[in-house]
Amino acid sequence: MAEIVLGIGASHSTLMNTHWEQTSRKFEARRFRYALHQARAAIVESGADSVLLVGSNHFRGFWLDLIPSFTIGVGECVASGESGTPGGPQPVDVPLARHIVDTLVDSGRFDIAYSARLQIDHGQSHAIQYLLDGLDLPIVPLVVNVFASPLPTMDRCAQLGEAIRAAVRDFEGRRVAVVASGGLSHRLPWPDWREPHGEDEEFMVRAWLDGRHNWADYDSRRREIIRAAEPAINTEFDEYCLRLLEAGEARTLAGYSTERLEREAGNGGQELRTWLVMAAALGYAPALRLAYEPMPEWLTGMGAALIDPWRAQV
């Protein structure tokens, strides 16, 4: 029987790569980066054979011509390599990935999408860069739609994590770590694609429609729009969210609607779906907070936490 041996949730921000030197709050920035180092060490200590990597996609692998709620990579996986994150082919635990897809579909609980040639971006490669660097661990990439409405409900994400937990247990010979990348609160200058307002928003929607084979052509202006955004970090919400995780009560987040989550955590906070999938896969065991640093220069509440199910039982 395979087992899930560790869970990690960690924020990501490409500004951490591209604007490190311009970051004025270096002490806080280093403290968050050290937390990622601690999380990487925990993966090593867990003896994990594979990593289920739950992340978002920022319109570099998925486009408005097709947006599944959940997609698992079951073959090739290629990272786009934008903003200093790793690029190119990534190792995939194909047998485990296909087992999870088969089990979810056969169970009737999820008609999950799959890809034999999955394109990922910093929504997952940021975690590969900081949490899996040099570890030679294959991944099972799971992409959750957190940006193109309608989004899967938070409760559905919790159900998926619970179903994955059961599916992994039905596999042989693996120690699996689950990594969630994204959140905490932040707001990106991204529109509801169904109702763009103004020139910038219309440009973003056009990029999301037409960028499948030429996303880099849109990136210069897209980066300008993002860099011009005002930070919107809700430290009170982030603290609340982390306390829920620490108390083993992350399932409370499943009760949040998309509208309520956006109101309290911003549209970037929709990435917390990845944390909820991870927490559910770990049976909502209590988490250990590694760091929380609100980083306005990176537009994001940067948090990191881990769940060690064996430690939680002590």
Q: Are 151 and 190 in contact (CB under 8 A)?
A: no
Q: Which CATH superfamily includes the segment(s) 3-188+229-307?
A: LigB-like (3.40.830.10)
Q: On the CB side of 310, how many CA atoms lie within 13 Å of its CA?
A: 8
Task: List the structure tokens of 21.
Answer: 């030197």
Give the H/E segment covering residue 288.
Answer: strand 288-295
| pLDDT for position 187 | 95
pLDDT at 245: 98
pLDDT tens for each residue of the chain, 314 residues long: 899 999 999 999 999 999 999 999 999 999 999 999 999 999 999 999 999 999 999 999 999 999 999 999 999 999 999 999 999 999 999 999 999 999 999 999 999 999 999 999 999 999 999 999 999 999 999 999 999 999 999 999 999 999 999 999 999 989 999 999 999 999 999 999 999 999 999 999 999 999 998 988 998 998 899 888 899 999 999 999 999 999 999 999 999 999 999 999 999 999 999 999 999 999 999 999 999 999 999 999 999 999 999 876 66
Beta bridge partners of 3: 175
3-state secondary structure at position 132: coil
Cβ–Cβ contacts within 10 Å for residue 95, how many?
A: 16
Task: Give the pLDDT confidence score for residue 193 in this predicted structure.
Answer: 96
Quote the pTM value. Answer: 0.97
Instruction: Give the pLDDT confidence score for residue 312 in this predicted structure.
Output: 66
Q: Residue 85 gets which letter from DSSP?
A: S
- Whether residue 68 is preceded by a cis peptide bond, meaning omega within 30 degrees of 0, is no
- d(CA 127, CA 122) in angstroms, rounded, equals 8
